[in-house]
Amino acid sequence: MLQVANIRANKEAYIEALKKRNFDAEQLFSEVLDLDETRRSTQAELDETLAESNKLSKEIGLMFKNGEHQKANLLKEKTSELKETSKSLSEKLADTTAALNRHLYNIPNIPNAIVPAGASEEDNEEIFKEGEVPQLAEGALPHWELAKKYDIIDFELGNKITGAGFPVYKGKGARLQRALIAYFLDKNVAAGYTEYQMPLLVNDASGYGTGQLPDKEGQMYHVTEDNLYLIPTAEVPVTNMFRDEMLAESDLPIACTGYTPCFRREAGSYGAHVRGLNRLHQFDKVEIVRIEKPEDSYAALDGMVEQVKDILRELKLPYRILRLCGGDLGFTSALTYDFEVFSTAQDRWLEISSCSNFETFQANRLKLRYKTADGKKQLAHTLNGSSLALPRVLAGILENYQTPEGIKIPEVLVPYTGFDMID
RNA sequence: GGAGAAAUGGCAGAGUGGUCGAAUGCGGCAGUCUUGAAAACUGUUGAGGGUCACACCUCCGGGGGUUCGAAUCCCUCUUUCUCCGCCA
Protein backbone atom coordinates (compact mmCIF):
# COMPACT_ATOMS: atom_id res chain seq x y z
CA MET A 1 0.00 0.00 0.00
CA LEU A 2 1.38 3.37 -0.98
CA GLN A 3 1.78 6.10 1.61
CA VAL A 4 -0.62 8.99 1.18
CA ALA A 5 2.09 11.49 2.03
CA ASN A 6 4.19 10.14 -0.83
CA ILE A 7 1.28 10.30 -3.23
CA ARG A 8 0.74 13.92 -2.29
CA ALA A 9 4.41 14.78 -2.72
CA ASN A 10 5.00 12.87 -5.96
CA LYS A 11 1.60 12.78 -7.59
CA GLU A 12 2.66 13.55 -11.17
CA ALA A 13 5.75 11.35 -11.10
CA TYR A 14 3.75 8.45 -9.71
CA ILE A 15 1.04 8.81 -12.33
CA GLU A 16 3.72 8.75 -14.99
CA ALA A 17 5.46 5.71 -13.47
CA LEU A 18 2.22 3.75 -13.16
CA LYS A 19 1.60 4.18 -16.87
CA LYS A 20 4.28 1.55 -17.33
CA ARG A 21 1.82 -0.82 -15.73
CA ASN A 22 -0.89 0.50 -17.99
CA PHE A 23 -2.53 1.73 -14.81
CA ASP A 24 -4.29 5.06 -14.92
CA ALA A 25 -3.95 6.54 -11.46
CA GLU A 26 -5.04 10.10 -12.14
CA GLN A 27 -8.62 9.73 -10.94
CA LEU A 28 -7.78 7.42 -8.03
CA PHE A 29 -5.05 9.71 -6.78
CA SER A 30 -7.25 12.77 -6.67
CA GLU A 31 -9.92 10.78 -4.85
CA VAL A 32 -7.32 9.53 -2.39
CA LEU A 33 -6.07 13.04 -1.73
CA ASP A 34 -9.61 14.33 -1.27
CA LEU A 35 -10.49 11.52 1.09
CA ASP A 36 -7.33 12.10 3.05
CA GLU A 37 -8.18 15.78 3.29
CA THR A 38 -11.61 14.90 4.63
CA ARG A 39 -10.19 12.33 6.97
CA ARG A 40 -7.78 14.79 8.50
CA SER A 41 -10.26 17.60 8.94
CA THR A 42 -12.82 15.20 10.42
CA GLN A 43 -10.18 13.92 12.79
CA ALA A 44 -9.36 17.46 13.87
CA GLU A 45 -13.03 18.26 14.43
CA LEU A 46 -13.51 15.08 16.41
CA ASP A 47 -10.47 15.81 18.55
CA GLU A 48 -11.83 19.22 19.41
CA THR A 49 -15.19 17.82 20.40
CA LEU A 50 -13.60 15.18 22.57
CA ALA A 51 -11.31 17.72 24.19
CA GLU A 52 -14.29 19.87 25.11
CA SER A 53 -16.15 16.86 26.44
CA ASN A 54 -13.17 15.69 28.50
CA LYS A 55 -12.82 19.13 29.99
CA LEU A 56 -16.47 19.31 31.01
CA SER A 57 -16.38 15.84 32.49
CA LYS A 58 -13.55 16.84 34.73
CA GLU A 59 -15.47 19.91 35.82
CA ILE A 60 -18.50 17.80 36.59
CA GLY A 61 -16.34 15.54 38.70
CA LEU A 62 -15.14 18.52 40.71
CA MET A 63 -18.68 19.84 41.13
CA PHE A 64 -19.88 16.56 42.58
CA LYS A 65 -16.99 16.61 44.97
CA ASN A 66 -17.97 20.09 46.07
CA GLY A 67 -21.61 19.14 46.37
CA GLU A 68 -22.76 21.40 43.53
CA HIS A 69 -25.21 18.86 42.18
CA GLN A 70 -27.53 21.23 40.36
CA LYS A 71 -24.70 22.89 38.47
CA ALA A 72 -23.31 19.48 37.57
CA ASN A 73 -26.59 18.22 36.22
CA LEU A 74 -26.88 21.29 34.03
CA LEU A 75 -23.47 20.58 32.52
CA LYS A 76 -24.42 16.98 31.90
CA GLU A 77 -26.89 18.08 29.27
CA LYS A 78 -24.14 19.93 27.46
CA THR A 79 -21.89 16.88 27.41
CA SER A 80 -24.72 14.74 26.12
CA GLU A 81 -24.94 16.98 23.10
CA LEU A 82 -21.20 16.78 22.58
CA LYS A 83 -21.50 13.03 22.75
CA GLU A 84 -23.96 13.02 19.87
CA THR A 85 -21.64 15.21 17.84
CA SER A 86 -18.60 13.07 18.49
CA LYS A 87 -20.52 9.92 17.68
CA SER A 88 -21.52 11.17 14.24
CA LEU A 89 -18.02 12.53 13.64
CA SER A 90 -16.36 9.25 14.47
CA GLU A 91 -18.74 7.43 12.17
CA LYS A 92 -17.81 9.82 9.41
CA LEU A 93 -14.15 9.30 10.22
CA ALA A 94 -14.50 5.52 10.07
CA ASP A 95 -16.33 5.69 6.75
CA THR A 96 -13.78 8.03 5.26
CA THR A 97 -10.85 5.93 6.45
CA ALA A 98 -12.44 2.77 5.08
CA ALA A 99 -13.03 4.42 1.71
CA LEU A 100 -9.48 5.73 1.69
CA ASN A 101 -8.07 2.29 2.40
CA ARG A 102 -10.23 0.67 -0.25
CA HIS A 103 -8.74 3.10 -2.74
CA LEU A 104 -5.20 2.53 -1.52
CA TYR A 105 -5.59 -1.25 -1.66
CA ASN A 106 -6.39 -0.91 -5.35
CA ILE A 107 -3.28 1.01 -6.30
CA PRO A 108 -0.28 -1.13 -7.28
CA ASN A 109 3.29 -0.39 -6.31
CA ILE A 110 5.30 2.21 -8.21
CA PRO A 111 7.62 0.40 -10.63
CA ASN A 112 11.31 1.09 -10.34
CA ALA A 113 12.78 3.40 -13.00
CA ILE A 114 14.52 0.51 -14.79
CA VAL A 115 11.30 -1.48 -15.24
CA PRO A 116 10.57 -1.59 -18.96
CA ALA A 117 7.16 -0.50 -20.17
CA GLY A 118 5.10 -3.26 -21.69
CA ALA A 119 1.76 -4.96 -21.83
CA SER A 120 2.50 -8.63 -21.20
CA GLU A 121 5.22 -11.21 -20.75
CA GLU A 122 6.16 -10.64 -24.40
CA ASP A 123 7.75 -7.37 -23.29
CA ASN A 124 9.89 -8.74 -20.47
CA GLU A 125 13.52 -7.95 -20.91
CA GLU A 126 16.01 -10.81 -21.02
CA ILE A 127 19.07 -9.65 -19.10
CA PHE A 128 21.07 -12.83 -18.62
CA LYS A 129 21.38 -16.30 -20.03
CA GLU A 130 23.60 -19.18 -19.03
CA GLY A 131 24.05 -22.89 -19.65
CA GLU A 132 24.15 -25.22 -22.58
CA VAL A 133 20.91 -26.56 -23.95
CA PRO A 134 21.63 -30.29 -24.12
CA GLN A 135 21.31 -32.17 -27.37
CA LEU A 136 18.67 -34.73 -26.65
CA ALA A 137 18.34 -37.98 -28.47
CA GLU A 138 15.57 -38.47 -30.96
CA GLY A 139 12.30 -39.12 -29.17
CA ALA A 140 13.14 -37.18 -26.01
CA LEU A 141 10.13 -37.15 -23.71
CA PRO A 142 8.38 -34.42 -21.75
CA HIS A 143 8.56 -34.94 -17.99
CA TRP A 144 5.02 -36.29 -17.62
CA GLU A 145 5.94 -39.13 -19.97
CA LEU A 146 9.21 -39.69 -18.13
CA ALA A 147 7.38 -39.69 -14.83
CA LYS A 148 5.19 -42.48 -16.11
CA LYS A 149 7.99 -44.41 -17.76
CA TYR A 150 10.09 -44.53 -14.59
CA ASP A 151 7.10 -44.64 -12.26
CA ILE A 152 8.21 -41.69 -10.13
CA ILE A 153 5.21 -39.35 -10.26
CA ASP A 154 1.61 -40.49 -10.44
CA PHE A 155 -0.82 -37.81 -11.56
CA GLU A 156 -3.84 -40.12 -11.79
CA LEU A 157 -3.39 -41.33 -8.25
CA GLY A 158 -3.44 -37.75 -6.97
CA ASN A 159 -6.56 -37.26 -9.03
CA LYS A 160 -8.21 -40.12 -7.23
CA ILE A 161 -7.22 -38.99 -3.77
CA THR A 162 -7.77 -35.28 -4.14
CA GLY A 163 -8.18 -33.94 -7.66
CA ALA A 164 -6.25 -32.54 -10.58
CA GLY A 165 -3.08 -30.70 -9.66
CA PHE A 166 -2.19 -32.83 -6.64
CA PRO A 167 0.40 -35.31 -7.89
CA VAL A 168 1.80 -38.22 -5.92
CA TYR A 169 5.60 -38.51 -5.91
CA LYS A 170 6.87 -41.99 -5.58
CA GLY A 171 10.12 -43.84 -4.97
CA LYS A 172 13.09 -42.05 -6.51
CA GLY A 173 10.78 -39.21 -7.54
CA ALA A 174 9.90 -38.52 -3.92
CA ARG A 175 13.52 -38.93 -2.86
CA LEU A 176 14.77 -36.58 -5.57
CA GLN A 177 12.28 -33.97 -4.44
CA ARG A 178 13.35 -34.34 -0.82
CA ALA A 179 16.99 -34.08 -1.92
CA LEU A 180 16.29 -30.86 -3.77
CA ILE A 181 14.59 -29.31 -0.75
CA ALA A 182 17.49 -30.20 1.52
CA TYR A 183 20.02 -28.95 -1.01
CA PHE A 184 18.25 -25.62 -1.51
CA LEU A 185 17.93 -25.05 2.22
CA ASP A 186 21.57 -25.91 2.82
CA LYS A 187 22.66 -23.48 0.11
CA ASN A 188 20.56 -20.70 1.62
CA VAL A 189 21.71 -21.37 5.16
CA ALA A 190 25.33 -21.35 3.93
CA ALA A 191 24.65 -17.93 2.39
CA GLY A 192 23.54 -16.57 5.76
CA TYR A 193 19.80 -17.17 5.70
CA THR A 194 18.13 -18.42 8.87
CA GLU A 195 15.97 -21.47 8.31
CA TYR A 196 12.35 -21.45 9.45
CA GLN A 197 9.46 -23.88 9.45
CA MET A 198 6.27 -21.93 9.22
CA PRO A 199 2.55 -22.53 9.73
CA LEU A 200 0.83 -23.52 6.51
CA LEU A 201 -2.41 -21.79 7.41
CA VAL A 202 -2.61 -18.08 8.09
CA ASN A 203 -5.26 -15.70 9.40
CA ASP A 204 -6.67 -12.85 7.38
CA ALA A 205 -4.52 -10.19 9.04
CA SER A 206 -1.52 -11.98 7.53
CA GLY A 207 -3.25 -12.17 4.17
CA TYR A 208 -3.74 -8.42 4.22
CA GLY A 209 -0.23 -7.84 5.50
CA THR A 210 1.50 -9.24 2.45
CA GLY A 211 -1.19 -8.18 0.00
CA GLN A 212 -2.90 -11.47 -0.92
CA LEU A 213 -6.05 -9.96 0.52
CA PRO A 214 -8.26 -8.40 -0.54
CA ASP A 215 -7.32 -8.47 -4.22
CA LYS A 216 -6.26 -12.11 -4.67
CA GLU A 217 -8.73 -13.72 -2.33
CA GLY A 218 -9.89 -16.25 -4.94
CA GLN A 219 -6.35 -17.58 -5.38
CA MET A 220 -6.11 -18.97 -1.86
CA TYR A 221 -7.86 -21.96 -0.38
CA HIS A 222 -10.04 -20.68 2.43
CA VAL A 223 -10.85 -22.82 5.45
CA THR A 224 -14.08 -21.06 6.27
CA GLU A 225 -14.88 -22.84 9.50
CA ASP A 226 -11.82 -21.33 11.15
CA ASN A 227 -11.39 -18.43 8.75
CA LEU A 228 -7.86 -19.44 7.83
CA TYR A 229 -6.14 -19.55 4.47
CA LEU A 230 -3.74 -22.13 3.12
CA ILE A 231 -0.57 -20.32 2.21
CA PRO A 232 0.09 -19.72 -1.50
CA THR A 233 3.77 -19.16 -0.65
CA ALA A 234 6.04 -19.11 2.41
CA GLU A 235 6.35 -15.38 1.83
CA VAL A 236 3.07 -14.90 3.68
CA PRO A 237 3.89 -16.46 7.05
CA VAL A 238 7.57 -15.51 6.94
CA THR A 239 7.07 -11.85 6.14
CA ASN A 240 4.20 -11.61 8.61
CA MET A 241 6.50 -12.60 11.44
CA PHE A 242 7.56 -8.97 11.24
CA ARG A 243 4.12 -7.43 11.09
CA ASP A 244 3.69 -4.55 13.57
CA GLU A 245 7.33 -4.74 14.55
CA MET A 246 9.65 -1.91 15.44
CA LEU A 247 13.11 -3.25 14.71
CA ALA A 248 16.42 -1.75 15.72
CA GLU A 249 18.68 -0.65 12.91
CA SER A 250 21.19 -3.23 14.11
CA ASP A 251 18.65 -6.03 13.51
CA LEU A 252 18.91 -5.42 9.78
CA PRO A 253 19.38 -7.01 7.41
CA ILE A 254 17.17 -9.97 8.26
CA ALA A 255 17.44 -12.99 5.98
CA CYS A 256 15.08 -15.94 6.27
CA THR A 257 14.62 -19.10 4.30
CA GLY A 258 11.98 -21.75 4.61
CA TYR A 259 10.56 -24.73 2.88
CA THR A 260 6.77 -25.05 2.65
CA PRO A 261 4.21 -26.64 0.45
CA CYS A 262 2.22 -23.95 -1.39
CA PHE A 263 -1.46 -24.10 -2.23
CA ARG A 264 -3.02 -22.24 -5.11
CA ARG A 265 -6.48 -22.54 -6.52
CA GLU A 266 -5.34 -21.34 -9.96
CA ALA A 267 -8.97 -20.78 -10.80
CA GLY A 268 -9.61 -20.76 -14.50
CA SER A 269 -6.15 -21.68 -15.70
CA TYR A 270 -6.40 -25.01 -17.44
CA GLY A 271 -5.03 -26.05 -20.81
CA ALA A 272 -2.08 -27.48 -22.65
CA HIS A 273 0.53 -25.37 -20.86
CA VAL A 274 -0.44 -26.64 -17.47
CA ARG A 275 0.26 -30.30 -18.12
CA GLY A 276 2.25 -32.40 -15.75
CA LEU A 277 4.20 -30.41 -13.21
CA ASN A 278 3.86 -27.13 -15.03
CA ARG A 279 1.04 -25.84 -12.86
CA LEU A 280 -0.24 -27.45 -9.69
CA HIS A 281 -2.61 -26.73 -6.85
CA GLN A 282 -0.10 -28.00 -4.34
CA PHE A 283 3.62 -27.71 -4.86
CA ASP A 284 6.78 -27.35 -2.82
CA LYS A 285 8.95 -24.31 -2.66
CA VAL A 286 11.94 -23.00 -0.76
CA GLU A 287 11.64 -19.29 -0.26
CA ILE A 288 14.02 -16.54 0.78
CA VAL A 289 12.82 -13.35 2.45
CA ARG A 290 14.86 -10.30 3.37
CA ILE A 291 14.11 -7.22 5.45
CA GLU A 292 16.45 -4.40 4.52
CA LYS A 293 17.19 -0.74 5.05
CA PRO A 294 15.97 1.23 2.04
CA GLU A 295 19.47 2.20 1.00
CA ASP A 296 20.55 -1.44 0.92
CA SER A 297 17.57 -3.10 -0.66
CA TYR A 298 18.60 -3.07 -4.30
CA ALA A 299 22.03 -4.46 -3.54
CA ALA A 300 20.19 -7.13 -1.55
CA LEU A 301 17.99 -7.91 -4.53
CA ASP A 302 21.12 -8.37 -6.63
CA GLY A 303 22.44 -10.66 -3.92
CA MET A 304 19.30 -12.77 -4.08
CA VAL A 305 19.63 -13.02 -7.84
CA GLU A 306 23.23 -14.20 -7.38
CA GLN A 307 22.08 -16.78 -4.85
CA VAL A 308 19.59 -18.28 -7.28
CA LYS A 309 22.09 -18.15 -10.14
CA ASP A 310 24.59 -20.02 -8.04
CA ILE A 311 22.13 -22.83 -7.40
CA LEU A 312 21.14 -23.14 -11.06
CA ARG A 313 24.77 -23.14 -12.09
CA GLU A 314 25.52 -26.00 -9.73
CA LEU A 315 22.53 -27.91 -11.05
CA LYS A 316 23.85 -27.25 -14.55
CA LEU A 317 20.47 -26.26 -15.89
CA PRO A 318 20.17 -23.84 -18.82
CA TYR A 319 18.40 -20.73 -17.59
CA ARG A 320 17.77 -17.10 -18.30
CA ILE A 321 16.82 -14.08 -16.21
CA LEU A 322 14.08 -11.67 -17.18
CA ARG A 323 13.41 -8.22 -15.89
CA LEU A 324 9.64 -8.06 -15.78
CA CYS A 325 7.96 -5.30 -17.68
CA GLY A 326 5.32 -3.06 -16.14
CA GLY A 327 2.47 -5.12 -17.51
CA ASP A 328 3.77 -8.38 -16.04
CA LEU A 329 5.00 -6.98 -12.73
CA GLY A 330 3.17 -8.22 -9.64
CA PHE A 331 0.81 -5.84 -7.87
CA THR A 332 3.04 -5.34 -4.83
CA SER A 333 6.44 -5.35 -6.54
CA ALA A 334 8.65 -2.45 -7.59
CA LEU A 335 11.13 -4.61 -9.48
CA THR A 336 11.06 -8.31 -10.25
CA TYR A 337 13.53 -10.71 -11.85
CA ASP A 338 12.12 -13.98 -13.07
CA PHE A 339 14.29 -17.03 -13.59
CA GLU A 340 13.32 -19.50 -16.26
CA VAL A 341 14.78 -22.91 -16.96
CA PHE A 342 14.73 -24.18 -20.49
CA SER A 343 12.85 -27.40 -20.87
CA THR A 344 14.43 -29.05 -23.86
CA ALA A 345 11.79 -31.70 -24.31
CA GLN A 346 8.91 -29.22 -24.12
CA ASP A 347 10.91 -26.64 -26.06
CA ARG A 348 9.86 -23.86 -23.76
CA TRP A 349 10.98 -21.81 -20.78
CA LEU A 350 9.59 -22.64 -17.35
CA GLU A 351 9.47 -20.05 -14.59
CA ILE A 352 11.24 -21.41 -11.53
CA SER A 353 11.99 -18.34 -9.46
CA SER A 354 10.91 -14.81 -9.02
CA CYS A 355 12.89 -12.30 -6.94
CA SER A 356 11.22 -9.04 -6.02
CA ASN A 357 11.81 -5.85 -4.13
CA PHE A 358 8.60 -4.51 -2.65
CA GLU A 359 10.32 -1.46 -1.17
CA THR A 360 7.93 -0.07 1.47
CA PHE A 361 4.75 -1.29 -0.20
CA GLN A 362 4.33 -4.34 2.01
CA ALA A 363 6.02 -2.73 5.01
CA ASN A 364 3.42 0.01 5.03
CA ARG A 365 0.60 -2.48 5.29
CA LEU A 366 2.57 -4.57 7.75
CA LYS A 367 3.69 -1.58 9.84
CA LEU A 368 7.16 -3.04 9.63
CA ARG A 369 9.51 -0.33 10.77
CA TYR A 370 12.87 0.20 12.32
CA LYS A 371 14.49 2.86 14.42
CA THR A 372 17.52 4.51 12.89
CA ALA A 373 20.57 5.34 14.98
CA ASP A 374 19.29 8.89 15.50
CA GLY A 375 15.91 7.60 16.68
CA LYS A 376 13.89 8.18 13.52
CA LYS A 377 11.28 5.57 12.66
CA GLN A 378 11.01 4.46 9.12
CA LEU A 379 9.51 1.71 7.03
CA ALA A 380 11.84 -1.11 6.08
CA HIS A 381 12.06 -2.62 2.63
CA THR A 382 10.88 -6.20 2.13
CA LEU A 383 12.11 -8.56 -0.55
CA ASN A 384 11.52 -12.14 -1.41
CA GLY A 385 12.43 -14.75 -3.91
CA SER A 386 12.00 -18.41 -4.62
CA SER A 387 15.04 -20.56 -4.32
CA LEU A 388 13.48 -22.51 -5.78
CA ALA A 389 10.08 -23.78 -6.89
CA LEU A 390 10.37 -27.55 -6.88
CA PRO A 391 8.09 -28.95 -9.59
CA ARG A 392 9.55 -27.05 -12.48
CA VAL A 393 13.11 -27.64 -11.32
CA LEU A 394 12.19 -31.29 -11.17
CA ALA A 395 10.66 -31.07 -14.64
CA GLY A 396 13.81 -29.36 -15.90
CA ILE A 397 16.05 -32.02 -14.43
CA LEU A 398 13.95 -34.90 -15.76
CA GLU A 399 13.81 -33.47 -19.25
CA ASN A 400 17.32 -32.10 -19.60
CA TYR A 401 19.10 -35.00 -17.93
CA GLN A 402 17.31 -37.78 -19.74
CA THR A 403 19.44 -40.31 -21.59
CA PRO A 404 18.54 -43.55 -23.32
CA GLU A 405 19.73 -45.35 -20.18
CA GLY A 406 17.70 -43.29 -17.76
CA ILE A 407 17.71 -39.95 -16.01
CA LYS A 408 21.03 -38.86 -14.60
CA ILE A 409 21.07 -37.03 -11.29
CA PRO A 410 22.97 -33.71 -11.22
CA GLU A 411 26.27 -34.31 -9.52
CA VAL A 412 25.68 -31.84 -6.73
CA LEU A 413 22.53 -33.71 -5.70
CA VAL A 414 24.00 -37.19 -5.53
CA PRO A 415 25.12 -36.81 -1.90
CA TYR A 416 21.52 -35.90 -1.10
CA THR A 417 19.75 -38.56 -3.15
CA GLY A 418 22.10 -41.44 -2.55
CA PHE A 419 21.67 -42.56 -6.16
CA ASP A 420 22.92 -41.13 -9.45
CA MET A 421 20.43 -42.50 -11.92
CA ILE A 422 16.72 -43.01 -12.26
CA ASP A 423 16.19 -46.03 -14.45
C1' G B 1 -13.79 -30.92 24.60
C1' G B 2 -15.06 -29.63 30.27
C1' A B 3 -13.87 -26.55 34.89
C1' G B 4 -11.23 -22.49 36.92
C1' A B 5 -7.71 -18.19 36.76
C1' A B 6 -5.56 -14.39 34.06
C1' A B 7 -4.27 -10.56 29.99
C1' U B 8 -1.60 -3.30 32.21
C1' G B 9 4.42 0.48 29.28
C1' G B 10 11.07 -3.18 26.81
C1' C B 11 10.37 -6.71 31.17
C1' A B 12 8.35 -7.54 36.14
C1' G B 13 4.29 -5.69 38.75
C1' A B 14 0.56 -2.06 41.53
C1' G B 15 -3.84 0.06 40.39
C1' U B 16 -11.89 -1.99 41.23
C1' G B 17 -15.67 4.65 38.58
C1' G B 18 -13.19 11.23 38.62
C1' U B 19 -6.14 15.37 37.37
C1' C B 20 -4.31 7.46 35.90
C1' G B 21 -1.08 7.58 30.34
C1' A B 22 -0.93 4.81 34.71
C1' A B 23 2.82 3.75 41.45
C1' U B 24 7.16 0.85 42.24
C1' G B 25 11.31 -2.25 40.70
C1' C B 26 14.49 -3.84 36.71
C1' G B 27 16.29 -2.50 32.07
C1' G B 28 17.60 1.76 28.54
C1' C B 29 19.57 6.81 27.97
C1' A B 30 22.14 11.30 30.04
C1' G B 31 24.93 13.32 34.02
C1' U B 32 27.87 13.45 38.91
C1' C B 33 31.90 10.75 41.11
C1' U B 34 36.42 7.92 38.83
C1' U B 35 42.76 7.86 35.22
C1' G B 36 38.95 4.34 33.07
C1' A B 37 35.18 0.94 34.51
C1' A B 38 31.95 -1.00 38.28
C1' A B 39 29.12 0.57 42.43
C1' A B 40 26.47 4.66 44.34
C1' C B 41 23.71 9.05 43.50
C1' U B 42 20.76 12.60 40.24
C1' G B 43 17.80 13.28 36.11
C1' U B 44 15.31 11.11 32.04
C1' U B 45 12.69 7.14 29.45
C1' G B 46 5.68 3.88 26.19
C1' A B 47 3.11 4.06 21.27
C1' G B 48 0.09 6.34 17.38
C1' G B 49 -2.18 10.83 15.37
C1' G B 50 -1.77 16.19 15.24
C1' U B 51 1.31 20.96 15.27
C1' C B 52 6.66 25.05 12.67
C1' A B 53 6.58 24.10 17.88
C1' C B 54 2.94 23.79 21.69
C1' A B 55 -2.03 22.63 22.64
C1' C B 56 -5.00 18.68 21.89
C1' C B 57 -6.87 13.52 20.62
C1' U B 58 -6.44 8.03 20.86
C1' C B 59 -4.36 3.56 23.05
C1' C B 60 -4.18 -0.65 29.78
C1' G B 61 -5.49 -8.28 24.76
C1' G B 62 -9.65 -7.30 20.31
C1' G B 63 -14.74 -5.64 19.55
C1' G B 64 -19.26 -3.69 21.66
C1' G B 65 -22.03 -1.49 25.86
C1' U B 66 -23.31 1.34 30.69
C1' U B 67 -21.87 6.42 32.53
C1' C B 68 -21.26 13.42 32.36
C1' G B 69 -16.66 10.43 33.24
C1' A B 70 -13.97 3.44 32.44
C1' A B 71 -7.48 0.27 33.11
C1' U B 72 -11.45 -0.15 36.86
C1' C B 73 -18.63 -2.06 35.82
C1' C B 74 -21.45 -5.26 31.90
C1' C B 75 -21.52 -8.34 27.19
C1' U B 76 -18.64 -10.86 23.61
C1' C B 77 -14.37 -12.76 21.13
C1' U B 78 -9.24 -14.14 21.26
C1' U B 79 -5.00 -15.72 23.73
C1' U B 80 -2.21 -17.65 27.97
C1' C B 81 -1.85 -20.55 32.52
C1' U B 82 -3.69 -24.59 36.01
C1' C B 83 -6.67 -29.09 36.52
C1' C B 84 -9.49 -33.02 33.88
C1' G B 85 -10.44 -35.61 29.24
C1' C B 86 -8.49 -36.96 24.35
C1' C B 87 -4.27 -37.53 21.29
C1' A B 88 0.75 -37.93 17.25
From residues 372-391 of A, list those within 7 angstroms of strand B by Cβ.
377
- Subset of residues 37-66 in chain A with CB less than 7 angstroms from any atom in strand B: 40, 43-44, 46-48, 50-51, 53-58, 60-61, 64
| A384 annotated as a binding-site residue | yes
In chain A, what is the greatest distance between 2 CA atoms, to the nearest angstrom? 103
Q: What is the pLDDT of residues A264-313, one digit of tens each?
A: 987 655 555 667 888 899 999 999 999 999 999 999 999 999 999 999 99
Which nucleotide is nearest, taking the CA of residue A72 and each C1'? Answer: B68
Q: How far is the CA of A72 from the C1' of B70 (A)?
A: 19
Given this model, what pLDDT does residue A335 score? 96
CA of A149 to C1' of B83 (A): 58
Contact by Cβ (8 Å): A342, A320: yes
The CA–CA distances, whole Å, from A232 to A207, A217, A259, A260 equal: 10, 11, 12, 10
Query: Average pLDDT, stretch A343-363?
Result: 91
Looking at the domain A121-422, which fold is it?
BirA Bifunctional Protein; domain 2 (3.30.930)
**Domains of chain A: which residue ranges?**
4-105, 121-422
In this prediction, the answer to ipTM > 0.85 reads: no
- What gap in Å lies between CA A36 and CA A49, rounded to an integer? 20
Cα A337 to Cα A324: distance, rounded to the nearest angstrom: 6
Q: Which nucleotide is nearest to A4 (CA to C1')?
A: B49
pLDDT at residue A218, rounded to an integer: 79
- Contact, A12 vs A33, CB < 8 A? no
Is A266 annotated as a binding-site member? yes
pLDDT for A245 beyond 60 = yes
**Nearest nucleotide by C1' from A39 CA?**
B49
Condensed to tens digits (0 to 9), the pLDDT of residues A62-114 reads 888 777 788 878 888 888 888 888 888 888 888 888 888 888 888 999 999 99
- The secondary structure of A313-340 as a DSSP string is HHHT--EEEEEPPTTTS-TT-SEEEEEE
Q: Report the CATH fold assignment for A4-105.
A: Helix Hairpins (1.10.287)
Residue A147 has a pLDDT of: 93
Nearest nt to the CA of A246 via C1' is: B47
